[in-house]
Amino acid sequence: MTVTRKSLAAAGCALLIAASTACGSAAPADAESRARRAVEKLGEWETVTVTTALDASAGDIRAFARHGLPVPGLPVPGLAGTGTAAGPVDAPLLSRVETVLTIGADGPLKDVREAEHVDSALMVNLGGKDLAGYKAIGDGFYVRVNWDRLAPELDWRDDTVNRGAELAAAADGLPSSLAAARDLFRGRWVRVDPREFERFATVAGVRYGEAATRLADEAELLLSARAQHRVLESVREVLDEHAVFRDGGRRDGADRVTVALPAREAVRDLTAALAPLEGDFGGIGAWSGLLDDVPEKGRITLELELRGGVLSGLTVDLGQFAAGGPDGAQGERGARGTGKLPLTLTFAPGQAVRVDTPPAAKRLEPQDVVGAVLYTELAERRTERQDTEEPGKPVP
């Protein structure tokens, strides 16, 4: 399991812990009771937005990654493979980027039944500019990539993104038969089948094959009501069995509650609880490798932030997911004492990303992308030939 994937799983785990805290034992301790009520009050809304970002400077991220410790990548071409001492980390980019996730239902989220599906929409943005996103609405999955913004933000270093930007510049010249591909490269929403992600990866290049498989698994999870509820119920069971809630005092106008879990026991029980889903959803297997670097007696701690009795934030230190934990973290080069790298999740009622079916979104097939690439290449060659021919000479 790569450190990038591990960090993203850690963020997902933190979000699940927050979502699962609402249900629990009948007579919890005071800190636990306040935490559960805070989550339940947030669940009274039909839509909730979660914003995730690293609370760290570019220098902090560089120092952390220099020791081979887990720095999260993002589900975006060009940002999906960062994070080890052996590979580059675009620290300035990661210090500014944030993901905005909105989940929604037809009624209060806390009242969603087991057979009911929760819709979701996610957008990755940088400096307030949207880069890429998805929507999982009902049984439909939609994606959008702003190639014109993504390529310069990556300083034109990613070949696939660069090619996407070139195709975006030529998109207006594509024929109506390639309208779906034209919309993709124009940065509009298109509908895709997650089961076709591997074929899309083949079109983009083999380097994205593993990422495409992972995204396909995760998309299938997002579209399955059974899987959604099983994952939440499994996390609730682990919390009831292992979590210790403590009063964290008050800071910056908010009440704090810490949640501590014995890492090995928690991940072992969670893996066992999710095992029935692994045959249908390959991405479930990620949980078994989430804490494989944590010592046998290690503990994972998260801090919940409560404002007005409602959950408003969650912070998890990614240093805990390295061998030795944040105070004695040991990376690939054996360095210790590398400090913390806080990952923050901010919760708010409402939808920062609209949870709805994108109007007029066309169905995109892998062959549409192939057709767009070939059509654009032929047009480019024709232009090059015309530029080299003598004036007035016909071009075959």
Residues 210 and 275 in one domain: no
Average pLDDT over residues 370-390: 81
In angstroms, the Cα distances linking 316 to 55, 235, 279, 290 are 10, 16, 30, 14
- The mean pLDDT of the chain is 77
Would you state the pLDDT for residue 64? 81
Strands of 310-317's sheet, edge to edge?
Answer: 244-251, 254-262, 299-307, 310-317, 342-349, 47-54, 97-104, 119-126, 129-137, 140-145, 190-192, 362-363
Residues 27 and 107 in one domain: yes
Range of the domain at 249: 1-129+238-354
Residues 339 and 242 in one domain: yes
In angstroms, the Cα distances linking 78 to 81, 207, 277, 300, 307 are 7, 11, 30, 30, 37
How far, in Å, CA of 277 to CA of 233, rounded? Answer: 13
How far, in Å, CA of 232 to CA of 227, rounded? Answer: 9
Alpha-carbon 209 to chain mean position: 17
Does any domain span residue 135?
Answer: no
Residue type, 249: G
Would you state the pLDDT for residue 163? 87
Would you state the pLDDT for residue 318? 81
Question: Which residues are within 8 A (CB) of 41 and not within 5 positions of it... i.e. 6 or more apart?
Answer: 309, 310, 311
Residue type, 170: A
Question: For the chain, how far is it from start to end, CA to CA, in angstroms?
Answer: 53
Q: Residue holding tokens 């034109």?
A: 156
| Tens-digit pLDDT profile for residues 253-308 | 999 999 998 877 877 777 777 777 665 655 555 555 554 555 566 788 999 999 99
Residues 187 and 56 in one domain: no
pLDDT band at 220 (very low <50, low <70, confident <90, very high): low
- pTM to 2 decimal places: 0.81
Question: Which residues are within 8 A (CB) of 62 and not within 5 positions of it... i.e. 6 or more apart?
Answer: 89, 91
Closest CA to 315 of 267, 235, 258, 236: 258
Q: Contacts from 337-340 at CB under 8 Å and sequence distance 24+?
A: 338/63, 338/64, 338/67, 338/69, 339/60, 339/63, 339/64
Task: Choose the most confident range, by mean pLDDT, from 29-33, 272-276, 308-312, 326-330.
Answer: 308-312
pLDDT band at 48 (very low <50, low <70, confident <90, very high): very high
Residues 74 and 189 in one domain: no
Between 282 and 148, the more confident residue is: 148
Residues 250 and 110 in one domain: yes
In angstroms, the Cα distances linking 345 to 229, 234, 255, 273 are 21, 21, 16, 25
Q: Where are the alpha helices (DSSP H) in the chain?
A: 3-20, 30-42, 58-66, 91-96, 147-153, 159-169, 179-185, 197-204, 209-222, 225-242, 263-278, 286-289, 366-388
How far, in Å, CA of 345 to CA of 11, rounded? Answer: 8
Residues 259 and 337 in one domain: yes
Would you state the pLDDT for residue 192? 93
Residues 115 and 199 in one domain: no
Kind of pairing between the strands at 342-349 and 97-104:
unpaired
Taking the CB of residue 377, how many other CB atoms lie within 10 A of it? 12
Taking the CB of residue 273, how many other CB atoms lie within 10 A of it? 18
Residues 154, 78: contact at Cβ < 8 Å? yes
Specify the number of domains making up the chain. 2
Does any domain span residue 394?
Answer: no
Does any domain span residue 227?
Answer: no
Residues 105 and 1 in one domain: yes
Kind of pairing between the strands at 342-349 and 362-363:
unpaired
Task: Choose the most confident range, by mean pLDDT, from 10-14, 108-112, 167-171, 265-269.
Answer: 167-171
Residues 177 and 297 in one domain: no
Residues 85 and 154 in one domain: no
Between 250 and 268, the more confident residue is: 250
Would you state the pLDDT for residue 281? 59
Average pLDDT over residues 23-31: 59
Would you state the pLDDT for residue 215? 60
Taking the CB of residue 1, how many other CB atoms lie within 10 A of it? 13
Average pLDDT over residues 39-51: 92
Task: Choose the most confident range, by mean pLDDT, from 21-30, 83-92, 141-150.
Answer: 141-150
3-state secondary structure of 9: helix
Does any domain span residue 106?
Answer: yes
Residues 4 and 100 in one domain: yes
Does any domain span residue 229?
Answer: no
Does any domain span residue 391?
Answer: no
Does any domain span residue 73?
Answer: yes
pLDDT at 82 over 50: no
Does any domain span residue 84?
Answer: yes
Q: Is 258 exposed, middle or buried (0-12, 13-18, 19+ CB in 10 A)?
A: middle
